[in-house]
Amino acid sequence: MPNEQGRHTRAIHAGFDPEEHRGAVSVPIYQSSTFAFPSAEEGAARFAGRSSGLIYTRLGNPTVQALEECVAALENGCGAVATATGMGAVSTVLLALLRHGDHVVSTRPVYGATHRLIENRLSRLGVSSTFIPSTANPSEWKRALRHETRLIFIETPANPTLDLVDIAEASAIAHAAGIPLVVDNTFAGPHLQRPLELGADIVVHSMTKSLNGHSDVIAGIVVTRERPVLQAVRETASTFGMTIDPHQAWLVLRGIRTLGMRVERAQANAMALAQWLEQHPQVAWLRYPGLRSHPQHDLATRQMSGPGSIIAFELRGGADAGRMMMNAMTLITLAVSLGGVDSLIEHPASMTHTGLTESEQRADGVTPGLVRLAVGCEDFEDLRTDLDQALQRCEVVSALSDAR
């Protein structure tokens, strides 16, 4: 698929040729565990790697291949490996590139499960780690690097604080050290941010989020710049059984066809809500990359095509007011996840990042009162009305908090 084509066009057409599927205009679901060989010689050739024919769905499937080619085109990578979950994508990359005695540098905050995997699980395999703030300056990056450092892992925008990492700068630091930069691009997605174009080597996604966009699939994907890395990732995913099934893949492909429309609609809602919330008397502070009040607004403008649909904020009444507000929602759903057509709200300190200690949460900027709002595609006025009625219930809590 030529990269000159627009993002909407690629989301609809990339990775799919109807002629290869009997003229079908939607990728068929190849719901088969195994594939027949035309001869014993061809079967042997496929297992030996001399033929690209299909063998077994864990190793490759036409529906899955269409999804991989589509997302690789969206990210401008050389190829992709789809996995059963977003954490499957993160785990596959780390298992493919790290071994006993290695060291990884990661920014913080990152998704809670990613933090636990790097710090607690990899350590059992003899891999050490160092976490630095997402907003660290180059000297802090360089101090974190060791002789045995084998990769840098970043997440930008970061979950849930919306801190940003300068991808081009992080890439330059990684490459000067001779190691790859891995970017979790889940919050922005390829419609709004393409890390490989900024120098990153590997991109991971939870396709559960905006790529699928309908809160009905769990999936992940890894996209790489170079084929040797892609091959290492693919071998690891198939060996550990991380690969996706064809029905999941088909559902994600169907979601991607409306990616741009959904993302732009949700983003427009998020911008309007962020502007309204920032002026609300019950809101103590708010973080959204599309507002000039975000300390890294200029970086967001430089490396992203848009600020996305996630808002982080805290009420003047703190955690108690936040819980009261979330419990009062009637339209916006109290649930984790993001990137879907439906708006979701959650409390990171007691939900998505509950696996971190209080001190780790403080270090990551996950305050007790932080609320994460993942804005969807509903009508703006309905979303604002729901937030407004819920915030009105928090006035008493806020007043008591101010009195203390």
| Distance between first and last Cα of the chain | 61
Residue 117 CB: number of other CB atoms within 10 A?
18
Phi-psi region at 125: left, alpha or beta (left = phi > 0; alpha = psi -120 to 50):
alpha
- Residues whose CB falls within 8 Å of the CB of residue 13, separated by 6 or more in sequence, listed in order: 1, 5
The answer to whether the beta carbons of residues 320 and 277 sit under 8 Å apart is no
Chain-centroid distance, C-alpha 376: 16
Phi, psi angle pair for 103, to nearest 5°: -135, 140
Write down the residue that tokens 């990613």 correspond to. Answer: 114
What is the set of active-site residues?
A: 58, 111, 184, 209
Phi-psi region at 231: left, alpha or beta (left = phi > 0; alpha = psi -120 to 50):
alpha
- CA–CA separation, 25 and 21 (whole Å): 8
Torsion of CA 367, 370, 372, 378, to 10 degrees: -170
Tell me if the bond preceding 62 is cis, omega within 30° of 0. no
Whose CA is closest to 182, among 126, 119, 225?
A: 225
Write down the residue that tokens 């649930």 correspond to. Answer: 335
The answer to whether the beta carbons of residues 72 and 80 sit under 8 Å apart is yes
* Amino acid at site 237: A
- Residue 93, token pair as written in the block: 């990359």
b/e map 234-266, b = 16+ CB within 10 Å: bebbbeeebbbbbebbbbbbebbbbbbebbbbb
- CA–CA separation, 111 and 108 (whole Å): 9
Phi, psi angle pair for 86, to nearest 5°: -65, -40
Q: Please, how many CA atoms are within 13 Å of residue 36, restricted to the half-sphere of its CB?
A: 1
